Amino acid sequence: MRLAVCQVSAALGDKAKNIATISRAVHTAACWGTDLVVLPELFLTGYNIGSRAAELAEAMDGPSLTAVAKIAARESCAICVGFAERDGKNVFNSSALFDTQGNLVALYRKIHLFGPKEQELFTAGDELVVARLGDCTIGMAICYDIEFPEFARALKRRGADLIVAPTANMLPFVEVPTTFVRARALENGLFLAYANHCGTEAELEYTGMSGISGPDGLDLARAGIRGEALLLAELPTTYPIGSLSTQSDDLRLSAEK
């Protein structure tokens, strides 16, 4: 699989502008033969929308997600994007995965909501999501989820080869992209795509540092703190012997001995 991670600034509350940004990014990635583009958390609206979350949230069959699906089909490129999802009275911090025909492959609702603000605005999800895309099994995560080793391990145990993590990580939490993301990939012997915002939204300044980490815990691609970036990496089908973690197979808890 050829994978792209898009580090980009969202236009706060302007879905039309953000969809246009998605269209340009996916077109560029598709010109390089990319199979999947991963975009940041809540990118359709911008992350720091505060009390407007309920107003801006859309159902899966709403106009914004329909537009993203059409982009995927037009460019023959799969897309994973974060958005505010409306389902009845509930609003979720969600991500959608569309295949190269624009079909919805997976919908994930963020389980670990970060801090009192997210917990006030969104309903927490309660279901792990793993989906097949081509020859790859993809585990779905959003931002704070990736800080929990147990979460990534659960996706691995469900067969994930690659975790995609739209994110909105802000300063001062630089340890997340520099340590946690690489550790989750290494611990579980899988690839991890981490797509962050950059720049500022109101009082928030993002860390950037989007990346694609390999099963050996090393970066296949990494963006800087500032500035937009489109990261591209070919995910190898094999790695050198000894570089892949086997802990998920060998773990023995004391209660099981």
1-13: pLDDT as tens digits: 999 999 999 999 9
- Is 143 one of the catalytic residues? yes
Encode pLDDT of 37-87 as tens digits: 999 999 999 999 999 999 999 999 999 999 999 999 999 999 999 999 999
Residue 256 placed within a domain: no
Q: Is residue 80 part of a domain?
A: yes
Handedness of CA 54, 7, 233, 141 (dihedral sign): negative
Overall number of domains in the chain: 1
Which residues of the chain fall short of a pLDDT of 70? 239-249, 251, 253-257
Helix (H, G, I), strand (E, B) or coil at 94: strand
Position 175 in a domain: yes
Q: Could you tell me if residue 242 is inside a domain? A: no
Catalytic, 203? Answer no
What's the pLDDT score for residue 162?
Answer: 98
The tokens 């469900």 sit on which residue? Answer: 158
The answer to whether 89 is a known catalytic residue is: no
In a domain, 91, yes or no: yes
Q: Is residue 88 part of a domain?
A: yes
User: What range does the domain containing 188 cover?
Assistant: 2-236
In the set 15, 143, 147, 156, the catalytic residue is 143
Element (H, E) at 86: strand 78-87
Query: Residue 238: its pLDDT value, please?
Result: 72
Q: Which residues contact 236 (CB under 8 A, 6 or more apart)?
A: 214
Write down the catalytic residue from 15, 41, 156, 198.
41
d(Cα 138, Cα 161) in Å, to the nearest integer?
A: 6
Examine residue 248 and state whether it is found in any structural domain, yes or no.
no
CATH number of the domain enclosing 223:
3.60.110.10
Which one of the listed residues 6, 58, 77, 110 is annotated catalytic? 110
